[in-house]
Amino acid sequence: MESVFTEQFMLQSRVPAPLKHIACKVVAGERILPEEGILLYEKGELGFLAMLAEHVRVRLNANDVFFIRNFHIEPTNICVNKCRFCSYSHHFSPRKWDLTVEEMLETVRSQDENVKEVHITGAVHPEKDIYYYEGLLRKIKSLRPDLHIKALSAVELEYIIKKARISYEQGLKFLQAAGLDSIPGGGAEIFDEKIRQEICATKASSENWLEIHETAHRMGITSNATMLYGHIENYGHRIKHMSLLRDSQDRYGGFNAFIPLKFRNSNNELSGISETTVIEDMKNYAVARIFLDNFPHLKGYWPMIGKPLAQLSLSFGVDDMDGTINDTTRIYSLAGASEQNPWMTVSEMKSLILDAKRNPVERDSLYKALGN
């Protein structure tokens, strides 16, 4: 079976020899090198990349595409940082907010009991500390003990843990005891200090981001990893970013999903940069799926690219559609995404996945199928 698949590539004379070599490695289940990843970005035609990415997707997830019933809480947009790509913080957003704990608890109360996960992330507020978030997590858990709390990006964690003058491990243990179940993938941007200096000079370094996630993984707290692409980075930077993640995953294995985030250019300091094309977006999903052979899941985050492109991404290696969201995130609508009030019903989610000839699977936060 596999050799027939490989031969298909071999017979396609328009595929240059070095790409055929990469195809054989991928089909044989071998890991590709960073320079081969760059070659895929530079020379890989979309159909060719799709076939290879789909091969990896099927090996890892068969025909299943996952989704979860979830909602977000974005506690504040008042931020000590001023990342140049960000349209969400009070520096650029037309609205400035800092929710009270009671307002956040009201959002939790308003969700129906089938909702399985809350994703809490926001800006780095100068006056908030680890004790504030510990109290918030405790109150949410006491209201909804069954709700999985995926909270606080490494950037928010670094700030509150350093402020408390404790180690990452002590900080994470303190929050875990209050109800922190996993960590979202935000703040990774691009792991290259020169690029970070240009786009997000004051936020956590690549090294600290990775150290926080690895500390969590050693403690049994799983997490996600994002990559912000389509701004001033090049293919080499994207591959370097994914190489660091792949190496880290080899060490501890705590990443659940990789989430490419397309830079959206409305209302921020990088508005002069054109957004990537659909071809570039699909190519990026495919190369990520091929390169990150040890990441179990690749997420097509529909509030960022819109429902039609998220559906299309299911043919480029994506096996996870995130969730129903219930109109609770503003990060992408403020940056110009088409989904101004992101909301997806379960039946819409399922038909979107079925339409792509995949099997919809409702999951919990750790990708256990919920059998319905």
Chain residues binding ligand SF4 by CB under 6 A are: 79, 81-83, 86, 88-89, 123-124, 155, 200, 203
Minimum distance, C-beta of residue 228 to ligand SF4, in the bound complex (Å) = 9
Minimum Å gap between C-beta 193 and ligand SF4 is 16
Query: 């043919």: which residue's tokens?
Result: 315
* Residue 259 interacts with ligand V47 (CB under 6 A): yes or no: yes
Our finding on whether 321 is near ligand V47 (CB under 6 A) is no
Q: How far is CA 30 from the centre of its chain?
A: 25
For residue 261, the partner it binds in ligand V47, ligand SF4, none, with Cβ less than 5 to 8 A by kind, is ligand V47
Indicate the residue among 52 and 335 with the shorter CB distance to ligand V47: 335
Q: Tell me the H-state helices in the chain.
A: 2-11, 17-27, 34-43, 46-61, 101-109, 130-143, 154-163, 168-178, 193-199, 206-218, 235-252, 278-291, 302-305, 307-313, 346-355
CA 150 to chain centre: 12
User: Is residue 75 near ligand V47 by the rule CB under 6 A?
Assistant: no
Window 284-303: contact mask with ligand V47 (x via CB under 6 A): -----------------x--
Task: Tell me the sheet residues that pair with 148.
Answer: 117
Tell me: does residue 186 bind ligand V47 (CB under 6 A): yes
Residue 226's binding partner among ligand SF4, ligand V47, none (Cβ under 5 to 8 angstroms by kind) is ligand V47
The per-residue DSSP string of 191-246 comes to S-HHHHHHH-TTS--HHHHHHHHHHHHHTT-EEEEEEEESSS--HHHHHHHHHHHH
Q: Is 263 in the site for ligand V47 (CB under 6 A)?
A: yes
The dihedral over CA atoms of 288, 223, 111, 369, expressed in degrees to the nearest 10, equals 70
Interface with ligand V47, residue 178, by CB under 6 A: no
Contacts to ligand V47 by CB under 6 A: 85-88, 153, 184-187, 189, 224, 226, 228, 259, 261, 263-264, 268, 301, 322, 331, 335
